[in-house]
Amino acid sequence: MKKASKNSGFDTTAIDRSVRPQDDFYTYSNGTWLKKTKIPENESRWGSFIMLRVDTEKKLRRIVERVKKGRYPAGTPEQMIRDFYVSGLDEKTREKLGTKPLLPWLTRVQKLKHVSEITPLIAAMHRVGIGGLWGGLIDQDAKNSEHYLLYFYQDGIGMPDRDYYLKDDAESKRVKEAYVKHMHNLHKLFGISAKETKESVETVMRMETALAKASMTKEDARDSEKIWHKHSIAQLQKLAPSIDWKRYMKDSGAPQERTVNVMQPDYMRAMSKMLASVPLADWKVYLRWQLMDDTAGLLSKKFVREQFNYYGKALSGNKKMKPLWRRALGATNGSLGELLGQIYVKEHFPAEAKIKMSALVDDLFAAYEKRIASLDWMTGPTKKKAVQKLRMMNRKIGYPDKWKGYRGLSVRADDFFGNIMRSAEFEHRRQIKKLGKPIDRTEWLMDPQVVNAYCSFNMNEIVFPAAILQPPFFSLHGDDAVNYGGIGSVIGHEITHGFDDQGAKFDGKGNMKSWWTAEDKKRFTAKAKILKEQFDKYEVADGVKVNGQLTLGENIADLGGASIAFDALMMHLARSGSRKDIEGFTPEQRFFFGLSLFEREITRPEAEKTRALTDPHSPSKFRVNGPASNLPEFYAAFGVARGDKLYREPKQRAKIW
Ligand SMILES: [Zn+2]
């Protein structure tokens, strides 16, 4: 990382000259690094992104360690940060407590006398962030973005995707076996007899498999239209009569709400039928498992280790657990994100970064508008609306203007379990309170110390937290070509989400409303299909392939983002007259180095396979070679010709934005 920033972001030491850029640009530009680098034992992936995340964690560690040394009045931000972190480090108390923090919950499950008592129990679990059967969230009403709406989604299974329960290929079997083993181990750690464990594990697997069958596929679950089913509470009561929904709403703190979007009605119906037919004894076993698995990571060492064995090792291939300080920091960060974030940006986010970033974003928007105007496949009326949406898109850079408050949250240095529960409940109340209030347009859905970015369809905005605005993605005084290839492509990527296969369904005001002519929609779908089919062919590992439908939105965003960022660089170079070659590479070529550097990563096969099945992002290599193989700008920069591995016949290239 240091070398890259000294090198103004342009790093030729990673090049592998035994690979031709025209055949595999990702490996050409990163190959030496890829060969030399080993994934640290406590990571499942290693590369630009993760290294920046780890680097940010180190900065945050310095903050919490400094705060830790002080003593502060109760309820102050410093007291909360300090005591949360200290409680995370305090393994001694956790050893002493064993399973005690969870006992009241387990007793409550044991004492259930009737299926109807499941409703208040589930409501109580959801309030403190423990999953079970379904989940709830507050977001803007997708068709009326001026209002908040409650959404219910399917959440009945323990493995990362329904396919693991229903499919029989080698990878599904491997994960299933690991999950069953994990269930056995955890039951044993909770002191449950071998006989009871065996029966319980079978029961949970049977019930979760039934819930998996009723669950919507992940491809459908990311389709905004397929998850849009507004219900009145009365309609929901008819759909899923085994739950007392009025009671659930009251217990959740929203007795006044009359409507909710049920994202997967078929799932809710099936779950309700199961509640009516499966004996209470089985539900007790199922709920006990949810509680144990969701909270074991907050208990003593042996429980934490078991959670690591399944989630860290089996699912992600990590060899070693993260050190205690990183886990304690992660918990503090997760619960007090904007408190820690305030200190982080004061110390690590220079004002110039925001200014330079704003200029970059301006360039990207200007380039986008030009692109839309010159699209050969879109009709005039739709173009006009696309530009309208683009101009209405809001941007947030660095950190929020208005910080979230944490007043009233009780944080104790000796109560890690309680801190997590109270914080989850505090956030639950914060969310529920939004219902009926005007939309808070200052809100951020990501903390400033998170190395990531996002696009919100309903808000029609793009958001770039401070932590992603650092080398190697963005260097204040670095090579502009690399900056436009790196952070520029990220900006273009996020803008394009507003125009990807899902984002394009939302208008400038953030409402799900068709603004396309039928003809344009047909052409857009056909163009997206080319990209889907290209990605379906890419192989990840051991026969596991990329899922072109699941990754379609991200791939459209990658392709559009790179195209627009490239245009923006050309505009910038023309304006500034700063075109020059560095180490024999043109700015056009360095742009693609920037793009590739952003994606540079090695991943353990376990994580690669889990992610191929669950992550809407394609693996790094294809996020570089995929767009490159479609971009005439790449062909021109590196002289790609027929016969080269990345070459595609013009007709087979995808060009959307
Ligand atoms: Zn994305």
Ligand 1 centroid – CA 556 distance (Å)? 9
Cβ(366)–Cβ(568) under 8 Å? Answer: yes
% helix, strand, coil for the chain, step of 5: 60, 10, 35
The token pair at 562 is 């790179």
Ligand 1 centroid – CA 563 distance (Å)? 15
Q: Is the pLDDT of residue 625 over 60?
A: yes
Short-list 311, 32, 253, 13, CA closest to 136: 253
Ligand 1 centroid – CA 80 distance (Å)? 33
91-123 CB burial, b ≥16 within 10 A, e <16: eeebeebbbebbeebbebbeebeebebbbebbb
Look at residue 564 in the predicted model and tell me its pLDDT.
97
Confidence class for position 210, pLDDT limits 50, 70, 90: very high
Ligand 1 centroid – CA 495 distance (Å)? 9
Q: For residues 512, 518, 519 and 525, what is the CA-based torsion angle, rounded to 10 degrees?
A: 50
Ligand 1 centroid – CA 435 distance (Å)? 28
Ligand 1 centroid – CA 222 distance (Å)? 13
Ligand 1 centroid – CA 498 distance (Å)? 10
Residue ranges near ligand 1 (ion) with Cβ within 5 Å: 554, 557
Instruction: Report how far residue 226's alpha carbon sits from residue 505's, in angstroms, rounded to the nearest whole number.
Output: 12
Short-list 80, 22, 123, CA closest to 589: 22
* Residue 3 identity: K
Cβ(303)–Cβ(189) under 8 Å? Answer: yes
Bridge-partner residues for 602, per DSSP? 46
* Mean pLDDT score across all residues of the chain: 95
Ligand 1 centroid – CA 616 distance (Å)? 8
The token pair at 584 is 């024999």
Of the two residues 9 and 80, the one the predictor is more confident about is 80
Long-range Cβ pairs for the range 135-140 (8 Å, 24+): 136/252, 137/431, 138/431, 138/432, 138/434, 138/435, 139/458, 140/439, 140/458, 140/459, 140/510
Ligand 1 centroid – CA 549 distance (Å)? 14
Look at residue 2 in the predicted model and tell me its pLDDT.
37
Ligand 1 centroid – CA 610 distance (Å)? 18
Residue 581 CB-density burial (10 A; 0-12 exposed, 13-18 middle, 19+ buried): exposed
Ligand 1 centroid – CA 316 distance (Å)? 21
Q: Is the pLDDT of residue 6 over 70?
A: no
Residues making up the chain, counted from first to last: 657
Short-list 208, 41, 218, CA closest to 610: 218
Short-list 625, 623, 631, 624, CA closest to 653: 631
* Residue 106 identity: L
Short-list 61, 60, 43, 41, CA closest to 51: 43
pLDDT, mean of residues 95-113: 98
Q: Is the pLDDT of residue 358 over 80?
A: yes
> How wide is the angle at C-alpha 267 spanned by C-alphas 261 and 271, nearest 5°?
115
Instruction: Report how far residue 140's alpha carbon sits from residue 632's, in angstroms, rounded to the nearest whole number.
Output: 39
Ligand 1 centroid – CA 452 distance (Å)? 9
pLDDT, mean of residues 582-589: 96
Bridge-partner residues for 150, per DSSP? 138, 260
Residue 195 CB-density burial (10 A; 0-12 exposed, 13-18 middle, 19+ buried): exposed
Look at residue 7 in the predicted model and tell me its pLDDT.
47
233-262 CB burial, b ≥16 within 10 A, e <16: bebbbebbebbbbeebbebbbbeebebbbb
Ligand 1 centroid – CA 617 distance (Å)? 7
Ligand 1 centroid – CA 496 distance (Å)? 9
**pLDDT (tens digit per residue) in 223-234:** 999 999 999 999
Ligand 1 centroid – CA 554 distance (Å)? 5
Three-state SS annotation for 394-407: EEEEECCCCCCCCC
The most distant pair of C-alpha atoms in the chain lies apart, rounded to whole Å, by: 77
Instruction: Report how far residue 635's alpha carbon sits from residue 631's, in angstroms, rounded to the nearest whole number.
Output: 7
Look at residue 435 in the predicted model and tell me its pLDDT.
97
Which residues have CB under 8 Å from 238's CB, separation 6+? none
pLDDT, mean of residues 550-567: 96
Ligand 1 centroid – CA 372 distance (Å)? 20
* Residue 84 identity: F
* Residue 557 identity: A
Instruction: Report how far residue 135's alpha carbon sits from residue 126's, in angstroms, rounded to the nearest whole number.
Output: 7
Ligand 1 centroid – CA 453 distance (Å)? 8
Q: Is the pLDDT of residue 299 over 70?
A: yes
Distances (CA, A) of 57 to 137, 228, 330: 28, 38, 9
Look at residue 8 in the predicted model and tell me its pLDDT.
62
Three-state SS annotation for 181-210: HHHHHHHHHCCCCHHHHHHHHHHHHHHHHH
Ligand 1 centroid – CA 124 distance (Å)? 34
Confidence class for position 520, pLDDT limits 50, 70, 90: very high
Beta strand 539-541 with 544-545 is antiparallel
Ligand 1 centroid – CA 471 distance (Å)? 20
Instruction: Report how far residue 391's alpha carbon sits from residue 384's, in angstroms, rounded to the nearest whole number.
Output: 11
Ligand 1 centroid – CA 104 distance (Å)? 41
Ligand 1 centroid – CA 242 distance (Å)? 38
For the whole prediction, is pTM greater than 0.85?
A: yes
pLDDT, mean of residues 585-596: 97
Look at residue 5 in the predicted model and tell me its pLDDT.
41
pLDDT, mean of residues 289-316: 97
Q: Is the pLDDT of residue 10 over 90?
A: no
Short-list 205, 128, 113, CA closest to 166: 205
Phi, psi dihedral angles at 247 (to 5 degrees): -65, -45
Residue position matching structure tokens 């009359």: 258
Ligand 1 centroid – CA 548 distance (Å)? 14
Which residues have CB under 8 Å from 521's CB, separation 6+? 514
Cβ(532)–Cβ(552) under 8 Å? Answer: yes
Look at residue 544 in the predicted model and tell me its pLDDT.
86
Ligand 1 centroid – CA 529 distance (Å)? 18
Cβ(495)–Cβ(656) under 8 Å? Answer: no
pLDDT, mean of residues 95-116: 97
Ligand 1 centroid – CA 500 distance (Å)? 10
